[in-house]
A = this chain, B = another copy of it.
Amino acid sequence: MSIEAAIDRISALIGDRLSTAKGIRDHHGEDAAYYTPTPPDAVAFPNDTAEVSEIMKICNDESCPIIPYGVGTSLEGHIQPIRGGVTLDMANMNKVLAIHQEDMDAVVQPAITREALNEDLRATGLFFPVDPGANASIGGMTATRASGTTAVRYGTMRENVLALEVVLADGRIIRTGTRAKKSSAGYDLTKLMIGSEGTLGVITEITVRLQGQPESITSATCAFPSMESAMNTVIQTIQMGVPMARIEVIDPTTIRAVNAYKKMELLEQPSLFVEFHGSEAGAHEQAETFGMIAEENGCEGFEWAKSLEDRNRLWTARHHGYFAMMAAYPGTKPITTDVCVPISNLAEAVIESMAEAKARGFDAPLVGHAGDGNFHMTFMVDPDKPEEMVAAKELAHEMNRRALRFDGTCTGEHGVGIGKQKYMAEEHGEGWSVMADIKRALDPNNILNPGKVVQIN
């Protein structure tokens, strides 16, 4: 029973699709988080579910850790093999297996990215709506219960995955769910696997819900005199039942960086970036209602983006906020956060977090999926100043504690990984030990991404 023995046996099974080359191992030793890299002992590239099953049997037999890997865009060290073992890079399983236009669903392999999937869907008039910004893999998005800018309208991966094929720790292959839209037939294994971060099984097929391309899409940015007035606009809009496709908050620091990075001229004030989907009349009505609410809250400037080109420019700017900050603070390391609270507490949580960061000398950019109560503050840290890292971590810690106090969660969409483990007991109480009970039942040898989500040994 050893990692070495497992590697030998997997190598015998898949030949040169198992690699122990340093470059490849290093590439799989870190994601987009800031943790010290921990490369796996080997990386396997399975071609199909049957191979995944055989590899799992070997790893279970040899008690060898196994870590599923999509494209490595996770933000909390999810895919770091902190106890060594074999990384299962799903890159060869990246196909669309079926598109059911009439039923508005598609069956895909885990390594396909959301952009590639939407490319394949273009001719159908359908699209896959979940958009976390990064061009993540659908398997990885499922494993982290990802969401992003459009979740306020279309839901997160939780609402957009109908069924899964999963290989269990002992190599058994299960199908969770059917293509029926709803079912009351027993425990919801689909939802149990979504967000399990590779600790309960390896996802080898995903049936996703699709949406019809709206007849009309309009985007806009609007600037507010204060963060509070922007937040109040969000709360009132949601309460009015306006089916916003996107409603994002962006702070002046981010706007400043984006203006510089993208050569834009957005007002450098607390802002909302919004999008309306619907029929011509419907989207227009939504925009009117929103505009009225925004104006009542003192909105100081509305900029519309109706053409595809203008909309792409706007949302690329939003999604590139991260890179814009990297450009604005060259040489820094970003420490990201990801809290989510009930929207009635959002303004307070945001304003307190910003004030605290400012008091500690950080000009920390803040963006948020405000309609869901989810926001991210990023601390740009000079790696040569350890005191900055300490301060950033303290501030991030305070944000997480604050979110829990406000009846929220320490992670709205990034997942637990390494970074959020320490809040699990506080957020879930005894529920966290129930998660561990489930993990023990499904993975008794603790081979599946060990050390993540739950604490077993």
Q: Which residues of A contact B (CB under 8 A)?
A: 100-105, 144-147, 151, 155-156, 158-159, 168, 172-176, 178-189, 191-192, 194-196, 200, 211-212, 214, 235, 238-241, 279, 281-282, 285, 289, 338, 340-344, 372-374, 403-404, 407-416, 420, 423-424, 427-432, 434-435, 437-438, 440-442, 453-454
Contacts and interface: CB of A to CB of B under 8 A. Distances in A.
B182 A374 contact: yes
Contacts of A437: 441-442
B178 A408 contact: yes
A212 B241 contact: yes
A241 B342 CA distance: 29
Contact of A102 (B156, B159, B235): B235
Contacts of A191: 158, 188, 191-192
Given A102-B239, A159-B159, A240-B212, A188 B181 contact: no
A131 to B, nearest CB: 14
Given A103-B343, A178-B427, A441-B438, A145 B184 contact: yes
Contacts of A156: 182
A453 B289 CA distance: 47
Contacts of A427: 178, 185
Contacts of A409: 178, 180, 182-185
A151 B180 CA distance: 13
Given A185-B427, A188-B188, 4 more contacts: A145-B188, A180-B373, A437-B442, A438-B442
A45 B409 CA distance: 34
A424 B185 contact: yes
A410 B442 contact: no
Contact of A104 (B239, B413, B430, B431): B239
The 8 A-B pairs of least Cβ separation, nearest first, read: A191-B191, A102-B344, A441-B441, A183-B409, A212-B241, A103-B342, A180-B340, A174-B431
8 contacts: A102-B239, A173-B430, A180-B408, A182-B413, A184-B338, A188-B192, A189-B435, A441-B441
Contact of A214 (B241, B373, B453): B241
